[in-house]
Amino acid sequence: MRRTTVTEGLPRREGRRITVEPSDRPVRAVRDGQVLAESDRALVLRETGCPVAYYIPFQDVRLDLLTPSGTRTNCPFKGEASYWSLPDAADLAWAYLDPKPEVAEIKDHLCFYEVQVS
């Protein structure tokens, strides 16, 4: 996968930059000792002014443990996000099911608020 730098075609915000590239390390999402996702195929999204985010392919996520929620948010740079929850943790993961073309690589990937990088 190629590294993507996103600046063209997005709403202008001075200094805004987004990059998407393969992670060079395995990534795990764990809650209360239970592994929710584990992947060596995660993507790293870096966005100016935001913490690094790891997007894990749906195939590497325990979707049997998560429930889609009705929450939706909109990012002018990435598109509309849909969220997933656990019974005791609302909206702990999100995905851009139809991301903007500039960040198309994150399609079919889920991002968790907390992950472990090995």
pLDDT tens track for 62-95: 999 999 999 999 999 999 999 999 999 999 999 9
Averaged pLDDT for residues 111-115 = 89
27 closest CA partner among 45, 5, 13:
45
Q: Which CATH architecture has domain 4-117?
A: Beta Complex (2.170)
* Pairwise CA distance, residues 84 & 74, whole Å: 15
pLDDT of residue 10: 47
Could you state, in order of their start, the residue ranges of all structural domains in the chain? 4-117
Structure tokens belonging to residue 3:
């590294």
